[in-house]
Structure 1
Amino acid sequence: MALNNTYEARLVQQETAVGAGVQVLLLALLGTAIGMGPAGWLTGLAFAIATWAVLSRALHRTRPRSFGPANRVTLGRAILVGGVTALVADSFESSPPVTLLVGLTAVALILDGVDGKVARRTGTSTALGARFDMEVDAFLILVLSVYVSTQLGPWVLLIGGMRYAFVAAAKAAPWLNAPLPHSMARKTVAAMQGICLLLAGADLLPHLANLGVVLLALGSLVWSFGRDVAWLWRNARNTRTAVPVLEVPAEASMETSETSVEGIEMLELAVR
């Protein structure tokens, strides 16, 4: 059994290596098509190496029996995000075709609704897959906010940086790590960010319209995070103020019950 698990683990690791190879191939195609400069190449390669290293480490810890079809879809999205990242980095040196950047981003956003459905239909939903999907989404939003910030101003970076600021805050305030209840509003706001930033980045609308779209995205994100933080704070307070209730066994004798009650009163006084 141990040998079989080791063999399957190697197959899983091979899939991540293939993903890194496909990422390099995509960068080569982009470089040939637009003459991508050093900034785009280095950023794209750094993204590919970092994705392979982090994903390989996570797989080594969880040791799944297979990589899974849903994770393959997410890995494909990550490859597209790597291409978008390279194009955005290259945009600081030259002007890459906007249609190419918009096309890669649009496909990545469309596939965002696919990997979850595949996981549910195939019964392969895992905590690792959900985290992988979330991290790819968050990084794409960060990259798009960097790109749009060159057009509308550095304040747009608040959209991409808010989730990372929340993670950093949770290091100092562990109560922020508590699980949140399911919320369709939270999912809708998260999906809006990519669509709004893509629309603004495509530069199809007048400047004021692009500004309004991005402000709408930022406002909804602030509301969503604010609501979640408020819920987590109330949950933490309720947890801290909860007093354990000690019950007296019903079948105990009168003498034992009186002794138990006295003991409980002493414990309650000590807690208070």
Structure 2
Amino acid sequence: MKMKLGISSAGVTNRYGIEEGFKLIKQSGFDSVDISLTGYSKEADTVYNVSEDEFLSYFSNIKKICDDLELEISQTHGRLTTCVPEKDLCEAIKINSELDLKASGILNAPVCVFHGVKLKQWEGVCLEEDFLLAKNKEFFEDYLTPLCEKYKVKFALETHGCSKISTGSVLDYVGDARNLRKSFDLIDSKWKSFCFDSGHTNEAIYYGGPGMYESIKALGESIEVLHLHDNQGFYDSHLMPLNGAFGAIDWAVVFDALNEVGYKGAYNWELGLGCFGNYLDQALPYIHGYLRNFINNKGRI
């Protein structure tokens, strides 16, 4: 079976526009896209602050463009911050999270990715394990799950890396995949899944988290979407897979572990494409060719 190759589309569509950007992604050879919703919010002058008809028209148009190109929307990316102590901010996050799921439903995306509880948000309030687990459960079970049911979209808890608190950078609580699994198991929802982020997990390893293989095995068959990218361990660089040249991830281990847990979805790459500037349209076919060869050889090049 052909392995589906995907790319996070924002770096392309932000530069070339929605229609031309998706066309370029398809012409370059990619099978699927991850559409980021993180730049939209109800508070700003974005499509999240327009009429119901305009909202529906905007995302229906994106879906039609992708459908016409036969470009699968494998996933979307929702809020980067979810569980916070500030009441006003918390309410704004909830409103935007619903809009993330609503947009995802219109796009017919099966999964919308969210970040969970972060130490840096709760420093000075409480960092006890039971408290953090309760906060994650409250947001994803009590608030998000009924909305997932309404819009027929799963949420995916994304793996974290480090968290920057007053004493410096430390392993985030759910940066440890075993803790993320613990939180996941406490959430009563048929709409839950995981997004395995290789770069975040590699960063977590640098700060004392479990290895790549152990992390993937801890999440297991509940991994439904991926954010794949490389780094040197201490900074979330969103690099191409480099196999030791400048990156630090042992990609053969990643592919073997994903195979062991039965992963069947798109191999989606979340890359920092800004470095290509206005040359991106010429670089993207090369990026596709490199990544296609890379996944076909399961990280062994």
Larger RCO, structures 1/2 (Cα 8 Å, 6+ apart): 2
Which is richer in helix?
Answer: 1
Taking structure 2 as the reference length, what is the TM-score of the superposition? 0.25
Which is richer in strand?
Answer: 2
Taking structure 1 as the reference length, what is the TM-score of the superposition? 0.26
